[in-house]
Chain A
Amino acid sequence: MSDLELSMTTEPTNREKSFPTDWLWRAVLPIALVALLLGFAAVDRSVLSPANLLNIAQQTSYLALFAMAQTVVILTRGFDLALGPAVSMVSVGTALAMAGATAAGHDQTTVLLAGLGAGFGLGIACGLFNGMVIALLGVNPFVATLGSYNIAIGVATTLSAGRPVQGVPKLFSQLFYGGSIFGFPATISITLAIGIVLHLTLGRTVFGRSLYIIGTNPRAAAVAGLPVKRILIATYVLCSTLAALGAIMMTARTGSGEPNLGGSLSLQAIAGAVVGGTSLAGGRGGVGTAVLGALFVTILSNGMNLTRIDGYIQMVVLGAIVIIGVLLDRLRQERRQ
């Protein structure tokens, strides 16, 4: 039926979901997660060791942040392909700022602030670029972020002259990586906190509500008076800011600004978001789906690493995961109609 036909029909057009099968669909991912863990454990017992499980939790923290960032824009039917290079760019910028501030003889706090300022500043700038090009110039999000992908790579490699940037102070690494907050490792605590705040934002604020409505029907949102352009720009800024936070945390771990830190992160973040249940059609997904998806991808790569599967094969698997994830998303969409 055409859209017009759909609007004309006097009968309701979709069936209410039957309760038990919907529950079954939601359970698929957690079950798959456990199955995956057990599967790898069968090959190599150390997968289930406390040390490794903690490792998984920490790794997931990073990817979960990126998956959350990606989820935010996917909710609005958007996409951020530039996430990976943006992370590299932030890493390099943060390290450079801190190295420069240290060299200029400033005290610890100022150095830290300089680093954070540069890092978040770059993130926000990237988000602003994406948001404005997409919302104001009307460019397709794929192409816009393909453009900023290029630009970010260029900036990252130029600023760093192609080499890692040294000079990240120990305090920085301590705060964002080595230390612990309330007994939890810093990475996990930060991600947890951000996750909670983001969840509340998505569910309880006007901004969050607007994201879901815009993703479901951007035209209706505009006609109803929602400031769609402003919200879209804010969404991309939020995405890049979250990515910047993730980049800062990763830089804290490596102890240097890496021009290739982002690597295949864009793909991994999208894979995580989509596998977890965020719909590329917009309007569906949230913190929960991002975290679940990130967990899945992390367990998968962790398991592959431990069972000594070739790094190149992992690339192939990642590619396959993305396709399967999107396929599942499609099946879910079709069920809904």
Chain B
Amino acid sequence: MSTVAAAGVPRRPIGLGRLIVGRIGFLPALLVALVVGMSAVDHQFYGLINILNILRNASLLAIVACGQALVIVAGGFDLSVGAVVALASVVTAKTMAATAAAFPGNTALIVASGVTAGLGCGLVVGLINGFCVAKLKVSGFVVTLGTMSATAGAGLMITSGIPVYGMPDAFVKGFGRAQLLGLPTAIYAALAVIAVMMFVQRRTLFGRYVHAIGGNVDAAVVSGVSIQRHVVGTYVVSSVLAALTGILLTAQVGSGQASFGGDRMMLQSIAAAVIGGVSLRGGVGRVEIVAVSALFLTILGNALNLLHVDSRLQPVFLGIIMVAAVALDELSRRSKARV
């Protein structure tokens, strides 16, 4: 910012319509339109099984997307989330199998060890990402590109590509595939995560500082905010949430697979974040809208399936939507007065 070439005029008043759109965006309207449209076209859409399916998948995506959103708000990028989902899934399953062999029948220990190991993976990858980005000052995009490959490789190495079975019933039937009040457990998990993240974002110092760092890192430094600690924190949160998703998937499917998550989930998490109003410049974004966006994308995918659109074409849609969302954000940013 230059003191010699500044525009110093007061902003023109914003119209009410623009204000509303600015606050919520087009997303809810799009979502409603999509749901109404699909219900009219295909009655299978609002069948119970389909709805539960949608909600379950949306929940998993929402959890990963919340973590991704936090990283992007702080000015970074996490490409490794898909790989972490896979690794966590595999590690959880393997650990449970190993503990079951060592302490047969001790369900609590088996489950606990598996979940801890899974979340631990997330912690480790998050720390590596955070350390490289914060201390070594390397671009988040490239670091996570590297850890993505390494993590995926590790996952494949552990299983040689074969699914891992042998998890206790309590975990799979009693938790993963269970329903509470008619809704799968994954939804409750997602709601809990979203609630916590919203609280963190709005009401905690951590959330405030993450926004500050993403919005103007110099200002944050000068105000005495510890940049490194918070950047590492965002990558850890992202990876741990991805690990959580991997564990939930494992509980649901009943096996640990290195094919879970992957590139597809990573791309969806970024798309969800970006469509959900998270700016790639950093400093802007609300997790609740990202969650709605995750729901939107899931419904969209489901709709395309029901309409018998080739699943191989779906990435095409995803790519176009994502680019369009970012382009719109960019264009609207340009119309704001320069600071």
Contact B315 A323 (CB under 8 A): no
Chain A residue numbers with a CB within 8 Å of B310 are 158
CB<8 Å pairs between A and B, sample of 17: A4-B1, A137-B331, A143-B270, A143-B322, A147-B319, A147-B320, A150-B267, A150-B318, A153-B315, A154-B312, A154-B317, A158-B313, A312-B156, A319-B149, A323-B143, A326-B139, A326-B143
* Nearest-Cβ distance from residue A155 to partner chain B, whole angstroms: 7
* Nearest-Cβ distance from residue B22 to partner chain A, whole angstroms: 19
Question: Bound state CA distance, A317 and B152, in angstroms?
Answer: 11
- Give the total number of A-B pairs whose CB atoms are below 8 A apart: 132
* Nearest-Cβ distance from residue A13 to partner chain B, whole angstroms: 17
Chain A residue numbers with a CB within 8 Å of B317 are 154
Question: Bound state CA distance, A182 and B131, in angstroms?
Answer: 51
Interface of A is mostly: helix
Contact A280 B139 (CB under 8 A): yes
Contact of A137 (CB < 8 Å), options: B142, B157, B327? B327
Most buried by A among B138, B142, B274, B330: B142
* Nearest-Cβ distance from residue B332 to partner chain A, whole angstroms: 11
Give residues 305-337 of A contacting B (CB, 8 Å): 310, 312-323, 326-327, 330
Interface of B is mostly: helix
The residue of chain B having its C-beta at the shortest distance from the C-beta of A142 within the complex is B141
Contact A330 B137 (CB under 8 A): yes
State whether the Cβ of B314 lies closer than 8 Å to any Cβ in chain A: yes
Chain A residue numbers with a CB within 8 Å of B198 are none
Question: Bound state CA distance, A149 and B139, in angstroms?
Answer: 20
A79-B141, A150-B318, A162-B312 given; name 8 further pairs at CB < 8 Å.
A137-B327, A143-B323, A144-B326, A150-B315, A154-B314, A319-B149, A326-B138, A330-B138
Most buried by B among A146, A153, A264, A314: A146
Give residues 127-169 of A contacting B (CB, 8 Å): 133, 137-140, 142-144, 146-151, 153-155, 157-158, 162
Question: Bound state CA distance, A280 and B320, in angstroms?
Answer: 26
Contact of B323 (CB < 8 Å), options: A139, A322, A327? A139
Given A4-B2, A143-B270, A146-B267; A322-B318 close (CB under 8 Å): no
Contact A138 B334 (CB under 8 A): yes
State whether the Cβ of B225 lies closer than 8 Å to any Cβ in chain A: no
Contact B326 A4 (CB under 8 A): no
State whether the Cβ of B95 lies closer than 8 Å to any Cβ in chain A: no
Contact A322 B146 (CB under 8 A): yes
State whether the Cβ of A267 lies closer than 8 Å to any Cβ in chain B: yes
* Nearest-Cβ distance from residue B148 to partner chain A, whole angstroms: 7
Given A143-B274, A143-B326, A320-B146; A154-B313 close (CB under 8 Å): yes
Contact of B145 (CB < 8 Å), options: A154, A322, A330? A322
Contact B149 A316 (CB under 8 A): yes
Question: Bound state CA distance, A89 and B157, in angstroms?
Answer: 28
The residue of chain A having its C-beta at the shortest distance from the C-beta of B132 within the complex is A323
Contact of A151 (CB < 8 Å), options: B1, B137, B274, B315? B315
Give residues 115-136 of B contacting A (CB, 8 Å): 132, 136
State whether the Cβ of A270 lies closer than 8 Å to any Cβ in chain B: yes
Contact of A148 (CB < 8 Å), options: B138, B147, B151, B319? B319
Question: Bound state CA distance, A10 and B57, in angstroms?
Answer: 60
State whether the Cβ of B77 lies closer than 8 Å to any Cβ in chain A: yes
Chain B residue numbers with a CB within 8 Å of A137 are 323, 327, 330-331
Q: Encode B14-51 as 1/0 by CB contact (under 8 A) with A.
A: 00000000000000000000000000000000000000
Contact A313 B147 (CB under 8 A): no
State whether the Cβ of B170 lies closer than 8 Å to any Cβ in chain A: no
* Nearest-Cβ distance from residue B244 to partner chain A, whole angstroms: 23
* Nearest-Cβ distance from residue A5 to partner chain B, whole angstroms: 11
Give residues 141-193 of B contacting A (CB, 8 Å): 141-143, 145-154, 156-157, 160
* Nearest-Cβ distance from residue A51 to partner chain B, whole angstroms: 28
Question: Bound state CA distance, A79 and B145, in angstroms?
Answer: 12
Question: Bound state CA distance, A212 and B97, in angstroms?
Answer: 56
* Nearest-Cβ distance from residue A335 to partner chain B, whole angstroms: 14
Across the A-B interface, give the 9 residue pairs with the lowest CB-CB distance, nearest first. Answer: A315-B153, A319-B150, A150-B319, A319-B149, A154-B316, A322-B146, A147-B323, A312-B157, A147-B319
Give residues 267-298 of A contacting B (CB, 8 Å): 267, 270, 274, 280
Chain B residue numbers with a CB within 8 Å of A142 are 77, 141
Question: Bound state CA distance, A131 and B146, in angstroms?
Answer: 25
Question: Bound state CA distance, A323 and B2, in angstroms?
Answer: 35
State whether the Cβ of B213 lies closer than 8 Å to any Cβ in chain A: no
State whether the Cβ of B280 lies closer than 8 Å to any Cβ in chain A: yes
Q: Encode B271-313 as 1/0 by CB contact (under 8 A) with A.
A: 0001000001000000000000000000000000000001011
Given A139-B330, A310-B157, A323-B132; A158-B312 close (CB under 8 Å): yes
Chain A residue numbers with a CB within 8 Å of B335 are none
Chain A residue numbers with a CB within 8 Å of B223 are none
Question: Bound state CA distance, A274 and B145, in angstroms?
Answer: 13
Given A149-B319, A154-B316; A133-B142 close (CB under 8 Å): no
Question: Bound state CA distance, A330 and B136, in angstroms?
Answer: 8
Q: Encode B250-285 as 1/0 by CB contact (under 8 A) with A.
A: 000000000000000001001000100000100000
